[in-house]
Amino acid sequence: MADGAASFGARLDAAMSTRGALCVGVDPHAALLRAWGLPDDASGLERFARTVVEALADRVAVLKPQSAFFERFGARGIAVLETVVAEARAAGALVVLDVKRGDIGSTAQAYADAYLDPASPLAVDAVTVSPYLGFGSLRPFVDTALAHDRGVFVLALTSNPEGPSVQHAVAADGRTVAQTVLDEIAAVNAGVSPLGSVGAVVGATITGGTGHDLAKVNGPLLAPGLGAQGATPADLASVFGSALPWVLPSYSREVLQNGPDVAALRHAADTVRRQCASALGRPA
């Protein structure tokens, strides 16, 4: 392994075992900044994001900054993002940058270098990517991630209502588009232990089960949609079935709305972590 470290999948598995299966988004949108009594500018962004890191980076498995909320402040926002990534990782949290990138060729490689090459100031542990230019278009992300012990989360079955019109479309071989994505991920992760480094994003808001084979992915299943979007830990079993051991629940507003008080943020994160542990059959 290029960095002399464990793979992302192995590091995530260890973090979920020691810190609990929980990802908390760092989503400093304007309404939350106002709710915290902060200005909607780069200074408010920095105070918000660094407070979340102070409160949670030493106790949750994963922090997931949403890049768009930093990018909207231009160069100053990106500088804050660099600081947040560095401080979160220094405190022991894995950082998944929610960028949902998807492009082809040299452009995809440039994105991969920006987020997954340790030489970059924006290097994180994993990124979210979109496969809807074809899964093969993601090879620069996958190859760069694996070369540097990083990870990739591929959008598969998302929580937005528009998603099924594309993701549930049936290809000529009878599989849905989402299932072809899941099968491609499974092929990359085949034979890897304890957990592959390429994961899937599967919304926790999907009711009645996904109708897709999630168990063979052999990688982490990032589950957004919990809390403010309506899903609860009790929904996880029906959505993920036998794939529950690989689920990484993701919360954002339900935790963040408790700021700027650090103790309140910690209490909220601890509460949802315990709730998820019970639903997933993990130790609290």
Give me the residue label for tokens 């309404």.
Answer: 31
85 contacts 51 by C-beta, under 8 angstroms: no
Buried b (16+ CB within 10 A) or exposed e, 98-114: bbbbbbeeeebbebbbb
Task: Decide: residue 270, CB within 10 A, 0-12 exposed, 13-18 middle, 19+ buried.
Answer: middle
Alpha helices in 26-151 (DSSP H): 30-35, 42-56, 67-71, 74-90, 105-116, 139-147
Just list the catalytic residues.
100
Strands 151-157 vs 126-129: parallel, antiparallel or unpaired = parallel
Residue 175's closest CA among 213, 119, 134? Answer: 213
